[in-house]
A and B are shown apart, each in its own frame.
Chain A
């Protein structure tokens, strides 16, 4: 009897695929092609980083924090350093504040371009993937030139940064920024004016203004729904208070806010342009002076050890707000508590209203639209009545590509 009356079936997606940066398990309730209910399971790569951190000294944690995420390898140590600076009342030199902006914005460009490539791949535009990732290579080259490494930069220190930008480095920065300005037009034309891109992304994966507020969404995900929320503007840190930053919401380009995937593309692309301008201004206005408040590490460690206090560091990562909480007891070198809240943590719940009512072929692009580091889905087991068959990531991707081709006809 139940077999006859039951009209929906379950569709589990995930949790692990070699291409997944952040394994997540989705359980969908499907009616035909339509998603009725969504459940998300996490924790497949919980590495107990906070637990480990509570057994390390404050300097060692910087490098541990850098390894929380490969893409946000600047923002996490930055939020951690700011939490320690707030807890122990350490003042950062002005020049270091500007250098932090430059590195933070370079990371934002790299991250948004990586995301744009992945989004294009998800709907079957692999040529656009190569176009964006070619541009991303240029940022990584510049990051390597300035810090010595492409991903794990080890540039931050509590109370400043470890490497300065010298006058002889500036021509290379300007040259790369010029390259971006030239190519940005092409990029925004491809993403925002293309008919097929619009067909796949407009009206798809909608997050309403109320849901974004109530579910505590962060970053481009919440800004695309019209919530003006950006730590760089609300509560500026580093040199952002000097640089006149504004909220990037989709109405800046289209005049309206829909909260769909298309709006999230607009927000990210506008932010790439904003980042280019911010780096330019930061480099021009950078004051001279020290880059570290205390260059002697043992002295710094000793000072932190003797200070009791708690503090938070809030930063705007490419994916949204990151917050680190730290507490020192004034006796031990190791922090008493260290809590990390990455941006995707806050963007998990908004997936549920976004995915409800969508088609299976839209799962990958909607899930990817919050930039969760988990756009690739591993395998799908469809249990339909007594038949059980598997869809692997390739087939799921194929479904998505086929939908694009169908729309193009």
Chain B
């Protein structure tokens, strides 16, 4: 029980507004100073729209798995982010998770989209939960568990979300390896033949 309480506390603290708003470049240097080489890459993409050609900003970062939880903690202390979604790429030996945050919302044209990519090895696909910092991450974390077979350590609710209960275990539809392809094919291969027989 006392463990749970300590976990909840930091999440409550973070709902405070920050004193100073950083520019996209400052955000990148802030994290690079903190984590040095553990930030594998950082890119700022600006694009303009409309006739007045006002720009919006996307930051793409790739970070090491070892600092992931620490990174989220720093981000939450900087400003409380909105987690839009966590997407996943099957890269072969690695699975990349892309957390799309948006920060500094609430002011015209000030918002920055921050996309953080983390790679986890397919042989041991594990990552820590961020639900203690951002409780709204639960739905997307549960989805990653069932669709990509990522084990989320410390997830408050590990049930399936979208997949039905009779869907085979250890088959993860968004993985791209040969074995998954075969397993998925089994599920729909004879669907039409079965319908014809009837």
Q: List A residues at the B interface (Cβ < 8 Å).
A: 42-43, 46, 48, 50-51, 86, 92, 94, 97-98, 210, 213-217, 227-229, 231, 233-242, 247, 285, 287, 310-312, 314, 321, 323, 325, 327, 336-337, 339, 341, 345-346, 348-349
Contacts and interface: CB of A to CB of B under 8 A. Distances in A.
Given A213-B15, A214-B135, A339-B88, 12 more contacts: A43-B161, A86-B58, A97-B50, A229-B105, A235-B105, A235-B111, A287-B51, A323-B100, A325-B85, A337-B88, A341-B85, A346-B136
A94 B50 contact: yes
A241 B54 CA distance: 7
B56 A336 contact: no
B51 A234 contact: no
Nearest to B105: A234
Given A46-B163, A214-B134, A238 B50 contact: yes
B42 interface: no
B58 A349 contact: no
B84 interface: yes
B184 to A, nearest CB: 8
B66 interface: no
Contacts of B45: 86
Contact of A97 (B49, B137, B139): B49
B49 A349 contact: no
B85 A241 contact: no
Contact of B139 (A51, A314, A339, A348): A348
Contact of A345 (B52, B82, B139, B174): B139
Name the residue among A216, A233, A247, A349 with the largest chain B CB count within 10 angstroms.
A216
Interface of B: 11, 15, 45, 47, 49-52, 54, 56-58, 60, 80, 82-85, 87-89, 98, 100, 102, 105-113, 115, 134-140, 160-164, 173-174
Contact of B134 (A48, A216, A235, A323): A216
Given A240-B50, A339-B85, A216 B106 contact: no
16 contacts: A46-B163, A50-B174, A86-B45, A97-B49, A213-B80, A214-B11, A214-B135, A229-B106, A235-B102, A236-B109, A237-B56, A336-B89, A337-B88, A337-B89, A341-B140, A349-B135
Contacts of A237: 49, 56
A228 B106 contact: yes
A380 B6 CA distance: 39
A42 B15 contact: no
B15 A236 contact: no
Given A43-B163, A51-B174, A236 B85 contact: no
B137 A216 contact: yes
Contact of B109 (A215, A235, A336): A235
B81 to A, nearest CB: 9
A214 B136 contact: yes
A247 B109 CA distance: 12
A273 B56 CA distance: 26
A349 B136 contact: yes
B60 A310 contact: yes
Contacts of A312: 58, 84, 100, 113, 115
B15 A241 contact: no
A215 B106 contact: no
A235 B56 contact: yes
Contact of B108 (A43, A233, A314, A339): A233
Contacts of B102: 234-235, 314
B162 A46 contact: yes
A96 to B, nearest CB: 10
Given A51-B174, A337-B89, A341-B85, A325 B98 contact: yes
B88 A42 contact: no
B138 A339 contact: no
Contacts of A97: 49-51
B50 A242 contact: yes
A231 B108 CA distance: 9
Nearest to A232: B108
A336 B175 CA distance: 11
B100 A325 contact: yes
Given A287-B51, A314-B113, A349 B161 contact: no
Contacts of A48: 173
A309 B56 CA distance: 18
Given A48-B173, A312-B58, A94 B107 contact: no
Nearest to A95: B51
Nearest to A214: B135
Nearest to A241: B54
Nearest to A44: B164
B15 A210 contact: yes
A336 B111 CA distance: 28
A285 B50 CA distance: 11
B107 A234 contact: yes
B89 A42 contact: no
Contacts of A86: 45, 47, 58
A349 B11 CA distance: 16
Nearest to B54: A241
B168 to A, nearest CB: 15
The 4 closest A-B pairs by CB, nearest first: A216-B136, A234-B111, A43-B162, A341-B85
A355 to B, nearest CB: 16
A240 B115 CA distance: 23
Contacts of B58: 86, 311-312
Contacts of A231: 111
A42 B138 CA distance: 13
